[in-house]
Amino acid sequence: MSVINFDFRNQVIKHNASLSYCYQCSTCSGGCPVALLTNGEYNPRKIIEEAILGLQDKLIEVQDPNPWLCSTCQKCVELCPQKVELTEIFTLIKNKCFEEGKYPEAFHAQGQAVLENGIAIPYSKAVLSRREKLGLPIITTAPIEEIKTLLRQTNFEQNIIKREAE
């Protein structure tokens, strides 16, 4: 049974007051490409409903529906008649999930790759060779130490290390 967490609800509303304008019309879910692809398994309206109700356990612990499926395409925001900033709210929820160590393994792997290489998906030798043959510029990233500094400031590196220890 889900328990209402008023502190969580107030944190979400404080972060983005537009949440309180939602009257659950389902326009967001009806236009969401991920909701359509998952036959409603991913449901933006349900995430917003759970945030309004302060159901932190469902959003963070259980992740039902899974906030990580949002592609941040902004379609829901464009369609919302109340101008609720759904993707901003989803980002807050994902950040809270991350703080609790509740995030997908793929996210962990990409974060580790960024820490080590400066990019999430390193380019293969074949891609680099083709780019060179086509006369395209060499791809560069920010210096690794700069990236690590940013990740340290957001506690990303600490959470990665903590998760690896578990």
The pLDDT value given to residue 17: 87
Q: What are the tens digits of pLDDT across the range 112-147?
A: 888 888 888 888 899 999 999 999 998 888 888 888
Query: Domains of the chain: which residue ranges?
Result: 6-99, 105-165
- DSSP states along 12-68: HHHH-GGGGG-----HHHHH-HHHHHTTTSS-HHHHHHHHHHT-HIIIIII-SS-GG
**Phi then psi for 97, rounded to 5 degrees?**
-60, -45
pLDDT at 82 over 90: yes
Global pTM exceeds 0.85: no
* Mean pLDDT of the 53-75 span: 94
Architecture (CATH level 2) of domain 6-99 = Orthogonal Bundle (1.10)
Q: What is the pLDDT of residue 109?
A: 84
